[in-house]
Amino acid sequence: MSEMAASSAISLLDIKLRRFGVGASNHELRLTKWFKGDQAGAPTRRFTCFADMLAPIRRSEKSEERRFDQKMSAHGAGIKTSSSAVPFASPKLTGPQSRDTPPKRDTGIANEKDWGIDLLNENVNEAGTNEDGSSWFRESGHDLGDNGYRCRWSRMGGRSHDGSSEWTETWWEKSDWTGYKELGVEKSGKNSEGDSWWETWQEVLHQDEWSNLARIERSAQKQAKSGTENAGWYEKWWEKYDAKGWTEKGAHKYGRLNEQSWWEKWGEHYDGRGSVLKWTDKWAETELGTKWGDKWEEKFFSGIGSRQGETWHVSPNSDRWSRTWGEEHFGNGKVHKYGKSTTGESWDIVVDEETYYEAEPHYGWADVVGDSTQLLSIQPRERPPGVYPNLEFGPSPPPEPDLPPDQPQ
């Protein structure tokens, strides 16, 4: 295959993945580096099974335009008219604006201001029917519990006249006497074509039980499914910060488009004292048996550290190719680079090279505090004189599953 043909094929694949919602991110799967050597001393190589990798994704021009995210972003045949229609139940009641929009891929964790959470009105319970037969509801309230626990919540939603399209969204804030505070959102919906989506977002302030330091944690889970083809995706993102600079970030992602599936996991950990660990692991496969992936890891402290990784590929007839590489940074301007592949490539050199790495996160404790004003302003229940919080039974963030029960299959 010529250089121009290979470049065109890769570009076509990139366009197809973008149409499905796979945007280019820092941790995105980039196929070009799997066909060209990118490590010091590694010559350019091309796979003989390149055509096998691209064959599963070739389609007619007409089918290429049918993309899952385009259908879902249109969401025309739903309850969208409920935001402008006049409620039937009472001329004074106005239904909530339709929120039948699915989440977007690779957008990470939104800031609280992007959600527009408003819990000012309590004990609301109202509903209505629009002129087109679609219906809506809106309700709010609060729940109380032990140790000063209080949860204020609002829920709203709507559905089309035949029930084929519907959406719901819930907002909440939680607090107790231990200083725990939580702000959250959950939304879900479906349209008349059978496309469905689900998303949740949380922001939590609590005191770490080991260090006694204040900690803010943010997380988001998102998924969407096509109702007409075997396509869907799921993402889980999380960020954790404490007042001394300790930071942890990561994400798990999964996607499927008919006969193709891909996965990605990455993480970052900063101890607040100069030590940093970063890693990424991503892989993909087709139903014909082609598999490929790439992973790397780096560890640094005080200018000294290492990087290592592997790129691999398995063809439908189980032929495997891989290239491993590594770097040792000594902190004195010298870097040892080494690697090898299953096709006989190898290199082992020492070069003069500056060592660069991020010892601190680009977004840290001061940033998250500045973006969490609504969370920090949550007022707990008034504590009676002589009553003290039970620190042993204060709520804590629940563990998050890797995938929800209705993950894409």
With respect to residue 47, please indicate whether it lies within any of the assigned structural domains: no
- Listed range (62-76, 194-208, 259-273, 275-289) with the worst mean pLDDT: 62-76
Q: Radius of gyration of the chain from Cα atoms?
A: 26
| pLDDT band of 211, cuts 50, 70, 90 | confident
**CA neighbor of 199 nearest in space, from 302, 72, 331, 330:** 72
The answer to whether position 361 is within a domain reads yes
pLDDT interval class at 93 (50, 70, 90): low
For the segment 309-326, the average pLDDT, to the nearest whole number, is 97
Kind and range of the H or E element at 365? helix 365-370
Beta-carbon contacts of 367 under 8 Å, excluding residues fewer than 6 positions away, are none
Whether pTM exceeds 0.75: no
Of the given ranges (53-57, 158-162, 284-288), which has the lowest mean pLDDT? 53-57
* Residue 281 forms part of a structural domain: yes
For residue 143, give the amino acid letter.
Answer: D
Q: What is the span of the domain harbouring residue 141?
A: 129-377
Pairing of strands 247-257, 166-175: unpaired
Distance between CA atoms of residues 290 and 317, nearest Å: 8
| Integer Cα distance of 308 and 11 in angstroms | 28
pLDDT tens-digit map of 331-378: 999 999 999 999 999 999 999 999 999 999 999 999 999 999 999 999
Structural domain contains residue 18: no
Of 26, 99, 110, 45, nearest in space to 296 by CA? 26
End-to-end CA distance of the chain: 34
Look at residue 394 and tell me if it is in a domain.
no
Residue 92 pLDDT > 70:
no
Domain count, the chain: 1
Residue 241 lies in a domain: yes
Beta 135-144 vs 125-129: how paired, if at all?
A: antiparallel
| 42 three-class SS | coil
Decide if 332 is inside a domain.
Answer: yes
Residues 171/182, Cβ–Cβ less than 8 Å: no
Worst-scoring range by mean pLDDT, 154-158, 323-327, 404-408? 404-408
Q: What is the mean predicted confidence (pLDDT) over 150-173? A: 94
Minimal CA–CA distance to 374: which of 120, 170, 113?
113
Residue 105 within a domain: no
DSSP state letters, 99-112: --PPP-TT-----G
Looking at residue 290, its pLDDT comes to 97
pLDDT of residue 122: 75
320-329/334-341 β-pairing: antiparallel
Q: Give 37-91 pLDDT, tens digit per residue.
A: 333 333 333 333 333 333 333 333 333 333 444 444 433 333 333 333 334 344 4
